[in-house]
């Protein structure tokens, strides 16, 4: 089923995240990597989060849109077939396939100018986030900082504080 512009294929539930993976590297130095030898991507941007995942993300400083790394074999890959650019109104689209812009990504264009893309999305658990590239940039810029505190029972606990709170 083709999704409209800005529509996601599903709403993640619970501790799940919907992530758009970055395309795998095409070259290693001067060597071209054949499709069969490319590793499954495990870096990408968070598109959406379930309710429990939103809570966990807030506690850990993650946000929708952040660039993350996740466990190499984590998650389930699904296809997201969606409109990326609207054209003129058209009764029935006549799709012409375009050259693939990246590995595992297909694009089509209609005579009316509408662009369609089929690309992978990955559903992972929020606990499978290994690193957050965007959070590191926010820490380095001073937008957020890590503070050490103590719980009422005296246990040391670190937390992320935001300048806007």
Give yes or no for residue 162 having a pLDDT over 90.
no
Q: Give the pLDDT band (50/70/90) at residue 24.
A: low
Residue 90 placed within a domain: yes
Residue 165 placed within a domain: no
More confident residue, 135 or 30: 135
Residue range 44-51: mean pLDDT, rounded:
96
Give yes or no for residue 47 having a pLDDT over 90.
yes
Give yes or no for residue 28 having a pLDDT over 70.
no
Give yes or no for residue 67 having a pLDDT over 90.
yes
Residue 82 placed within a domain: yes
**Model pTM score:** 0.83
Residue numbers of the domain that contains 51: 16-129
Three-class secondary structure assignment of 56-121? HHHHHCCCCCCEEEECCCCCEEEEEEEEEECCCCCCCCCCEEECCCCCCCEEEECCCCCEEEEEEE
């Amino acid at each position: 089923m083709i999704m409209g512009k800005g529509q996601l294929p599903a709403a993640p539930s619970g501790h799940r995240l919907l992530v758009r993976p970055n395309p795998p590297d095409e070259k290693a130095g001067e060597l071209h990597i054949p499709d069969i030898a490319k590793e499954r991507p495990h870096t990408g941007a968070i598109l959406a989060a379930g309710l429990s995942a939103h809570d966990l993300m807030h506690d850990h400083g993650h946000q929708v849109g952040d660039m993350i790394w996740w466990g190499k074999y984590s998650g389930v890959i699904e296809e997201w077939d969606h409109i990326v650019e609207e054209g003129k109104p058209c009764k029935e689209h006549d799709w012409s396939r375009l050259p693939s812009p990246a590995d595992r990504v297909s694009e089509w264009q209609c005579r009316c100018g509408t662009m369609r893309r089929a690309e992978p999305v990955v559903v992972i658990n929020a606990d499978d986030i290994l690193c957050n590239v965007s959070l590191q940039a926010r820490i380095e810029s001073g937008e957020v900082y890590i503070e050490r505190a103590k719980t009422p029972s005296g246990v040391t606990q670190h937390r992320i504080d935001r300048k806007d709170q």
